[in-house]
Amino acid sequence: MTSTTMEQKIRRIVAAKAQCDPERLGRHDDFEEVLGLDSLDRLDVLAAVEDELGVQIPDDQFSEIRNLDDLLKALGARPCEIAA
Amino acid sequence: MKIGLIALSGVRVRTRELAELGITLPQFVNRGRVIATLPSLGLLTVAALTPPDIEVIYREMNEVSADDPLEPFDLVGISSFTAMIDDAYALADRYRAAGIPVVLGGLHVSLMPEEAAQHADSIVLYGAEGAWPRLVADFRRGRLQPRYIGLRNGVFEPPHYASPRFDLLQGRPYNRITVQTSRGCPHDCEFCAASLRITSRFQQKPVDRVIAEIERAKAITETPFFELADDNTFVNAKWGKKFLRALAPLDIHWFTETDISVAEDEELLDLLAESGCRQVLIGLESPTAGGLDRIDSRNWKQRHYARYLEAIERIQSRGVTVNGCFIVGLDNDTPEVFEQVKDFVAQSRLLEVQITVPTPFPGTPLYHRLQRQGRLLEDRFWDRCTLFDVNFRPNKMTVEELESGLRWLFAEIYTETELKRRQRHYIDIVKQRREDQRTNAPAVGCA
């Protein structure tokens, strides 16, 4: 999967949870403070990402993932490969 | 005429070592922090019981600085709870010194009326329903009485029912909005200092009224998370299912307190998940059957102990987290209880845990028993009624053993490693539910 495809999928997952437009989702929009998700919503997003992308996010990074950018980095997508 | 309603919030742990531990293990005060940031549903109800021609101003205690001039009102109403009652009395004394009459009400006032009356022109016992409208009418005639007795029953029925004034919260930064569906609880736990103490029997609000309240509250917030201000929401499974079916279309997330019997009904559990329930707080109280002996007069909790583990698994498998609450230092607890709680938490895979010590809130049966037995450490310790500070001599351990055991347990339960383990468990549950939904989804396009 390319980084672009990965980001599109993750954008769709986050946007569905936050009930917003995937294209208007800022890379650094804080899941809880900007998007209004609660702590369990944030874990729901991580679960959906793991499930749909067939990946496993390292447990020690759960707390650090606060936005889309953090999530992409946790999945190993190099920033230079991520579509703007 | 302008009435100021002032809500208390926040609790400070008094034992120095615990307060310091709270800084390094912030999860242990999470629930307390949430409670501290809830609006006062009692005062919003008082506002709703006030005649519409009177202006009502809602304030939080932390908006009233001791250094600033007092905001002018014709009458002030202050809510109460034990740990902050001295702050309430100090504010009441300031207003009265300034010539503004003060009314005190709430749980602590209902349980300690003689004490509260020393700081108020009038006190309201039990529910505001049945008392506040009379109080305001008397005040307007210049005949405010020193004491009003509110209703202990029938508060959710006309003519006494009033839908809380959620509009007063407009523009305020609350993360959670409270709505009440019931008062009281059929389990008369000895330590309970909640609405059980101001009701004569369990009372449940009709579903249509609860839903109407939630819709009104939802309209004033952008991302509402609701907390049901109940002590035991799902006592009546039939009412519960009707409520959850009506709640599901509102697309909210919510939290409540209930007892372990909620796990006995599969349909109720499914409806919990479908209606957006994120967490149920359950007073498990003890990790052992022996610890539960005589917690409540019918030993209901002890009789349900054998189902604890299965019940937690069944609830959590729906993606509804259980906040399991334990009280350490109960009369049958030995110093082994701390290890026992740790083991139970690991075995049950609880997704959230709350640990407290028995707290003899004044006026409760626990307070009276410990007082009779000469086991209270001080005569007056209200600011230490935080659920974390020890105010009595335990039966089978010393005060020091309870305090140090509590700190040890916090350090074991609330570590970053344990938090990550719980988060991973929750993520795995959600993934399993997604897998189950795919498996159970009807096939599309097959002949």
Q: Is the predicted pLDDT of residue B99 greater than 80, yes or no?
A: yes
Closest chain A residue by Cα to residue B222: A36
Instruction: For CA atoms B372, B376, B382, B384, give the dihedral sign.
Output: negative
- Asked if A59 lies within 8 A of B431 by C-beta distance, the reply is no
More confident residue, A33 or B401: B401
Q: How far is A36 from chain B (nearest CA, A)?
A: 6
Indicate the average pLDDT of chain B.
92
Listing DSSP states for B155-166 in one string gives TTSTTT-----G
- If you average pLDDT over residues B307-315, what whole number do you get? 98
For residue B444, name the pLDDT band (cuts at 50, 70, 90).
low
How many independent structural domains does chain A possess?
A: 1
More confident residue, A1 or B417: B417
Q: Is the predicted pLDDT of residue B224 greater than 80, yes or no?
A: no
Question: What pLDDT, in 10s, does the model give residues A28-83?
Answer: 999 988 898 888 999 999 999 999 999 999 999 988 899 999 999 998 864 444 43
- Asked if B424 lies within 8 A of A62 by C-beta distance, the reply is yes
Q: Residue B66: helix, strand or coil by DSSP?
A: coil
Question: What pLDDT, in 10s, does the model give residues B245-291?
Answer: 999 999 999 999 999 999 999 999 999 999 999 999 999 999 999 99
- If you average pLDDT over residues A11-23, what whole number do you get? 93
Q: Is the predicted pLDDT of residue B189 greater than 90, yes or no?
A: yes
Cis before residue B186, ω within 30 degrees of 0? Answer: no
* The pLDDT of residue B220: 87
- If you average pLDDT over residues B163-186, what whole number do you get? 91
Q: Chain A contacts of B430, Cβ < 8 Å?
A: 43-44, 47-48, 51
- Asked if A40 lies within 8 A of B421 by C-beta distance, the reply is no
Closest chain B residue by Cα to residue A36: B223
How many whole angstroms separate alpha carbon B360 and alpha carbon B408?
Answer: 23
Q: Which of B321, B426, B431 sits opposite A51 (nearest CB)?
A: B431
Picking from B43, B13, B162, the residue whose alpha carbon sits closest to that of residue B104 is: B43
The answer to whether B199 contacts chain A (CB < 8 Å) is no
Picking from B278, B219, B271, B269, the residue whose alpha carbon sits closest to that of residue B248 is: B271
The answer to whether B222 contacts chain A (CB < 8 Å) is yes
CATH number for the domain spanning A19: value is: 1.10.1200.10
Q: Give the best residue of A19, A45, A46 to mutate against chain B (max B CB count within 10 A).
A: A46
- B100 to each of A33, B75, B92, B136, B143, how far by Cα in Å? 40, 6, 9, 14, 15
Q: Which residues does residue B288 pair with via DSSP β-bridges, in sequence order?
A: none
Q: Is the predicted pLDDT of residue B68 greater than 90, yes or no?
A: no
Q: How far is A44 from chain B (nearest CA, A)?
A: 7
Q: Is the predicted pLDDT of residue A6 greater than 50, yes or no?
A: yes
* The pLDDT of residue B23: 58
- If you average pLDDT over residues B38-57, what whole number do you get? 96
Q: Which domain holds residue A53?
A: 3-81
Q: Which of B278, B279, B431 sits opposite A47 (nearest CB)?
A: B431
Q: For the complex shown, is ipTM > 0.95?
A: no
The answer to whether B426 contacts chain A (CB < 8 Å) is yes
Q: Give the best residue of A30, A43, A65, A66 to mutate against chain B (max B CB count within 10 A).
A: A43
Measured between its terminal Cα atoms, the distance across chain A in Å is 17
* The pLDDT of residue B20: 76
Question: What pLDDT, in 10s, does the model give residues B106-123?
Answer: 999 999 999 999 999 999
Q: Chain A contacts of B222, Cβ < 8 Å?
A: 36
SS3 percent helix, strand, coil of chain A, rounded to 5, is 55, 0, 45
How many whole angstroms separate alpha carbon A69 and alpha carbon A29?
Answer: 9
- Asked if A51 lies within 8 A of B435 by C-beta distance, the reply is yes
> Quick one: DSSP state of residue B443?
P
Q: Give the best residue of B278, B414, B420, B423 to mutate against chain A (max A CB count within 10 A).
A: B423
Q: Which of A40, A46, A50 sits opposite B278 (nearest CB)?
A: A40
How many whole angstroms separate alpha carbon B346 and alpha carbon B413?
Answer: 9
**Structure-block tokens of residue B76:** 């002030």
**Per-window interface: A 23-62 vs B, CB < 8 A:** 36, 38, 40-41, 43-44, 46-48, 50-51, 59-60, 62
- In total, the C-beta contacts within 8 angstroms joining chain A to chain B are 43
- Asked if B420 lies within 8 A of A62 by C-beta distance, the reply is yes
Q: How far is B271 from chain A (nearest CA, A)?
A: 18
* The pLDDT of residue B64: 84
- Asked if B420 lies within 8 A of A40 by C-beta distance, the reply is no
More confident residue, A78 or B342: B342
Q: Which of A41, A50, A62 sits opposite B423 (nearest CB)?
A: A62
Q: How far is A29 from chain B (nearest CA, A)?
A: 16
Residue A43 burial (CB count, 10 A): 22
Q: Residue B194: helix, strand or coil by DSSP?
A: coil
Q: Residue B116: helix, strand or coil by DSSP?
A: helix
Q: Is the predicted pLDDT of residue B215 greater than 70, yes or no?
A: yes
Which domains does chain B possess? 2-149 (3.40.50), 176-358+394-435 (3.80.30.20)
